[in-house]
Structure 1
Amino acid sequence: MSQQSSRIPIQVLIVEDDVVTRRSLCLAIETEPALALAAAFDSVKPTLDWLENNSADVLLTDLGLPDGSGIEVIRRCVQRYPACDIMVLTMSSDEDNVLACIEAGAAGYVLKEARAFDIVRALLDLHAGCSPISPPIARKVLARLQNKKIQRASPPELENPAAGILTRRETAILDLIARGDSYGDVAKLLSVSVGTVQTHVKNIYGKLSVHSRGEAVYEAQRRGLLQVKSRRQKSQ
């Protein structure tokens, strides 16, 4: 983390209604030189009001808030500040909640049982281009998506046209992002610049009609454009 200390701190917005948890997160962020606390709120309304005239580099939000859902905050943040990285921090590992957050624009999903140090590390990874998701949640979501694909049992002729949406290079980049690689990692593996990777990612977003890494991975998986299961088997 010390390597980032000389750079401009990453501004973090926290939305968490539990006082103890919120204070713990604020302290963890304030003690990390690479991060800075932009603001912290305990409910939806003041957060939405703040977002009207302020922005952050990273949003860390709970889902169950006193006056609504954190998904409202995620959607407004994506609408006003598409470049903001979004992470959900919650007690829930329900697949429906996870998928709803990803569809809304979240790129990270971490359980509250994680240590403050691990949450800080996840925020740094998120801003670096990764999509940190707690392993138990990742397994559930992948299993859910794979089951849905099997249940659809779409004829091959309906699936094949979708496979042509992305170029071979775009598919390779999205596959690497899906397994958690950062843009820098992808650039090194493919021997291209980070700027080239970002250009391909932008094209991927346009072709899939999405606005975030998490949403792109979800949509590609839904359409059968990724081979996550095959990649995991090969790596074993």
Structure 2
Amino acid sequence: MGLESGRLAMPANVLSSQFAKPVRTWFVATAKLKQPIRTAIIEDDPALRKMIVSLLQADPDYAVVAEFAEGGAAIAAIPQMALDIALVDIGLPDISGIEVIRELKALCPACNVLVVTTFGDEKTVTSALEAGADGYLLKGIALEELKRDLHALQDGGSPLSPMIARKLLNRLQTKAVVDKSDAGGETSLTPREHEILEMIAKGFSYAETSKICSISAATVHSHLKRIYRKLEVHSKTEAVYEARRRSLIH
């Protein structure tokens, strides 16, 4: 991750394991009436780390208390730091940033974790959020936007890059369509249609079903046609399978 005209850029290389300890620990005065937002940066690119540190040190609302190039060192040190915010990269050289997030949330539940990374695939985003990330930003964001997002995070928001927000919305909308389809299938069958479908699933013929239900075979056939339409199938076998998939029958 390099520098690019005041923006967070893509990584150029991966640092060696020489950063087994915090790169730097900052001792912050706490005598002010308004305490600064205590922040740690977990990022393996030294140039990018320096840029973020400079950005936050120029703002009296923030206090950078530590920098880390590796996740293991952060996990070991951060629980003693009473952090407010941790900025975490996903692609760390020793362990995944997702594991770092999980451990930090377990050790320091009150700490807000903001992911700042190049990884924008759905699997990584979902894993990070499930691990406890409170926000997810893609590198390339302008530095002033990063600072605004940090303020929003501390105020209880969950900042997301637009591309990440779109992916999450698409996922939720897809799930909603499936859930609605399943729920709609269940509520759309009338009691008579449900009864006939149960009979067919048990292997009764049209004639046997009509006799048991005290209706004509033609009426049974008409009900089945409506069932096919509602379940979007074309045969008794498909109807039974789909009904069982939707838990309409056993």
Q: Same fold (TM over 0.5)?
A: yes
After TM superposition, what 4+ stretches of structure 1 lie above 3 angstroms from structure 2? 151-154
Percent of residue pairs bearing the same amino acid type: 38
The CA deviation at 1:151 is: 3.7
Equivalent-residue separation in structure 2 for 1:121 and 1:104 (angstroms): 24
Query: Does the C-alpha gap of structure 1 residues 10 and 151 become closer, same or farther in structure 2, counting only changes over 3 Å?
Result: same
Relative to total residues, which structure has the larger helix share, 1 or 2?
A: 1
| Runs of 5+ consecutive residues of structure 2 not aligned to the other structure | 1-31, 187-250
1:141 to 154, 168, 182: 168
1:155 counterpart residue number:
183
> Could you say which structure has the greater relative contact order, defined with CA pairs below 8 angstroms and 6 or more residues apart?
1
The CA deviation at 1:156 is: 5.8
Equivalent-residue separation in structure 2 for 1:103 and 1:89 (angstroms): 16
Letter in 2 for 1:114: I
Letter in 2 for 1:139: R
1:34 counterpart residue number:
61
Instruction: Please tell me whether the aligned partners of residues 101 and 132 of structure 2 are also in contact (alpha carbons under 8 angstroms).
Output: yes
- Alignment size in residue pairs: 155
1:85 counterpart residue number:
112
The CA deviation at 1:157 is: 9.9
Equivalent-residue separation in structure 2 for 1:49 and 1:10 (angstroms): 21
The CA deviation at 1:34 is: 0.5
| Runs of 5+ consecutive residues of structure 1 not aligned to the other structure | 159-236
Equivalent-residue separation in structure 2 for 1:117 and 1:140 (angstroms): 24
2:99 counterpart residue number:
72
SS in 2 for 1:117: helix
TM-score (normalizing by structure 2):
0.58
Instruction: Please report the RMSD computed on the Cα atoms of aligned residues, expressed in angstroms.
Output: 2.2
Instruction: Please tell me whether the aligned partners of residues 87 and 115 of structure 2 are also in contact (alpha carbons under 8 angstroms).
Output: yes
SS in 2 for 1:45: helix
1:129 counterpart residue number:
156
SS in 1 for 2:175: helix
Q: Which one has a bigger Cα radius of gyration?
A: 2
